[in-house]
Amino acid sequence: MFRRCLPILALTISPLWPQWLRLPTPGIPRTPDGKPNLAAPAPRAADGKPDLSGLWEKTVDRYYNDITVDLDPAEVRPWAAALSRERKKSEKDNPIDACQVLGPAYTITPYHESRILQTPGLVAILNDDLTFRQVYMDGRKLEQDPNPTWMGYSVGHWDGDTLVVESNGFNERTWLDLEGHPHTEELRMTERYRRPDFGHIQLQVTFDDPKAYMKPFTVSITMNLVTDTEMLEFVCDNEKDRAHMRNLLPATDLVVPAATLAAYAGVYDVKSAARPWWWK
């Protein structure tokens, strides 16, 4: 979350702006005052399909905080719920602490930007932490018995103007959210990307893992186009603090009086406009 601090510091001492942080994005529609016209029609590729290319960010962290927020607790298998509770208390095997990649959670986290590069035969998704996905559009099917990897394997096809991406082959070392909800190697993920206008993508992600969850579930996310700047490299290269971290949470679950909870009832999301000054 501090990835913008160092570039901002660098800009205060250098007038050269070497990272192109304020370079107007070429070739995009603009309003009369020069601002990006995000409500303009979505662009189309040479084959007539919507062109999803661009630099994108998710808008809220609702599902990255808790992927099961819309589920009935009974829809999470007992072992998966118990593991999530244990991970919250101990931060055991937290992939962020270990500088590991997020795997399926890249689809829902607002804390990593992604660049989509679209061609007729391949869609590439490049994340700012140097991870990437290749979505093959050549008609191949997913492997029935894939060798598990961090980012899985993906194939795609068009359903009208919606790009449908199917993925499998994820290893079990990644978390689905900050709550530590797990998945197994049986996880199959289906994404549906629809670009209704120039500045937005409506994304639906369905997670299907019968070993961890009673039934498939779908989350809906808005992606915003990031304009007039470029993606900055974000590399986690220091996990030495992990050995010195200690758990400050109690060994048992906290019990908060109902009256206290009632005073704070509601849904809280961190929206892009509310990010602190050092984010951008």
165 CB-contact burial (10 Å; exposed 0-12 / middle 13-18 / buried 19+): buried
- The pLDDT of residue 96: 87
152 CB-contact burial (10 Å; exposed 0-12 / middle 13-18 / buried 19+): buried
List of residues 6+ apart from 55 with CB closer than 8 A:
113, 114, 115, 225, 226, 227, 229, 230, 231
Is residue 220 a contact partner of residue 213, using CB atoms and an 8 Å limit? no
DSSP string, the chain: --TTHHHHHHHHH-TT-TT-TTPPPTT--B-TTS-B-TTSPPPB-TTSSB---EEEEE---HHHH-TTTTS-GGGB-HHHHHHHHHHHHH-TT-TTTTT---GGGGGT-SSS-EEEEE-SSEEEEEETTS-EEEEE-SSPPPPSSPPPBSS-EEEEEEETTEEEEEEE-B-TTS-SSTT-----TT-EEEEEEEEEETTEEEEEEEEE-TTTBSS-EEEEEEEEE--SS-PPP------GGGGG----S-SS-----HHHHHHT-S-----GGGS-TT--
Cα gap 190→163, rounded to integer Å: 10
- Count of C-beta atoms within a 10 Å radius of residue 79: 11
List the structure tokens of 3.
């990835």
- Give the max Cα distance, the chain: 60
The third-level CATH classification (topology) of the domain covering 43-234 is: Lipocalin (2.40.128)
- The pLDDT of residue 236: 86
Cα gap 8→5, rounded to integer Å: 5
Give the mean pLDDT per block of 10 residues along the chain (280 residues).
40 47 89 96 96 95 95 98 92 83 96 97 97 98 96 98 98 96 98 98 98 98 96 81 58 75 66 41
> What is the separation, in whole angstroms, between the first and last Cα of the chain?
11
Kindly report the pTM of this predicted structure: 0.81
- The pLDDT of residue 258: 82
Task: Name residue 117's beta-bridge partners.
Answer: 124
